[in-house]
Amino acid sequence: MALFLVIGVLAFAAIIGFAMLSTASMQAQTTLNSSLALTADALADSGVDLACYYLINPDKAPTAVPLGSYYHGGTITFGSKMPGSVDLTITALATAGDYQIVSVGRAAQRSIAHSVTANVHVNQGYQVKSIVSFSGNGTLPLSATVNGDIQVNGILVNLGVVNGSLLSPNSAQGSGSLLGGLIAINSNNNTPIPTPATLRSFTTYTYNGNTYSAATIGGLPTGTTLGPTPSNPAGIYRYSGTLTMNHNVTINGTLIVENGDLNVSGGGNTITPVDGFPALIAKSNVWLRGTLLPSTSPRDLTINGLAWLGGSLKYSGLLSNGFFTVNGAIQFGNGGTVDTLFIPRLVVNKNANKTSGLNIDSSVPPASAALLSYKQ
């Protein structure tokens, strides 16, 4: 009898133990599923934010967006440190600027997903769609290579190489090459070129929600390095009068020259702006100044962003080692152009990371996205 009692107690204990293990396992599975569901929810919500970002900045989308179109969506992953994925489907609605976003967040290695549908209104703000823009007639000299589209509101005389299309009401003149042909300017492909009246002054500016003032400089001697500071976090520097840029000048910010020309009289010079700001605003002419006697001394400037010129791009003197490179875009906003006999190499390359979301034209509202409706 005692033996049966012992066996019964052991059996009961085994059953209770199994039940406890089963309950713990179910609780662990429930906790895991709950955690994965929260992850899927967060991924779906993040997908809506990401879709708005790509609608505002189409050049930064993970797939190429044709000129005048928008990012239609796709599957986005975030690497090993953030498992899971988001499936985005973006559809343009009847009202201009309105889009429907369907975002499906999927937890990693599980069939758990969460879907949200959001209707948003997107104001793309200022968009650079052509990497060279002339507000009037324009000239590209024999030394020029443009690796992208060019917009000319007047007539283009092209003696160089354009590896892109010409957006203009007029056919090009000159013996240069044009890869993409002529395209009429319309509301989808137009780059509004700021005029002197609509160009933002940047005397004061907003950065991360706070207002700051640009700094004034007294010159750019050889070896000058300028950049962001606590009181000037965008690194915006102004000069009034004719400014000479000597050798090895590095500006990690924005240079504004007014009431005079910018004379590039040295080599090894670069300007790289903070994201969201232009690289150079030169309200008069920009000169590459050569020497009086033959020399191999360099004269060059590399701009990694947007340059706005109120005058023309010129050169003078003897110059065997000179170039002007723009990795971003260059705009001639007050009827200026490039001198026909501009001998230094002129190269313009696309750089979407430095030309998106610029708040440079006061007539164009800043980029924004507003939520119209949201449904889980």
How does pLDDT run across 36-64, given as a tens digit for each residue? 678 888 888 999 999 998 998 887 889 98
What pLDDT is recorded for position 69? Answer: 84
In this structure, what token pair is assigned to residue 327?
């990795």
Q: Is 188 left (phi over 0), alpha (psi -120 to 50) or beta?
A: alpha
Instruction: Please state, in angstroms and rounded to a whole number, the distance separating the CA atoms of residues 91 and 71.
Output: 9
| DSSP-derived 3-state class of residue 54 | helix
The helix (H) or strand (E) run that includes residue 14 is helix 2-56
Q: Is 174 left (phi over 0), alpha (psi -120 to 50) or beta?
A: left
What pLDDT is recorded for position 320? Answer: 81
Cβ–Cβ under 8 Å, residues 92 and 73: no
In this structure, what token pair is assigned to residue 84?
């899971």
What pLDDT is recorded for position 21? Answer: 47
| DSSP-derived 3-state class of residue 223 | coil
C-alpha torsion sign, points 280, 284, 286, 291: negative
The ranges of the chain with pLDDT < 50 are: 3, 6, 9-11, 13, 18-21, 24, 26, 28-30, 32
What pLDDT is recorded for position 187? Answer: 86
What pLDDT is recorded for position 34? Answer: 65
What is the C-alpha radius of gyration for the chain, rounded to an integer number of angstroms?
29
Cβ contacts of residue 201 below 8 Å, gap of 6+? none
Cβ–Cβ under 8 Å, residues 157 and 171: no
What pLDDT is recorded for position 19? Answer: 47
What pLDDT is recorded for position 6? Answer: 46
What pLDDT is recorded for position 295? Answer: 81
Dump the DSSP string for 243-312.
EEE-SS-EESSEEEEESS-EEE-SSSEEE-PPTTS-SEEESS-EEEE-BSS-----EEEEESSEEEESS-
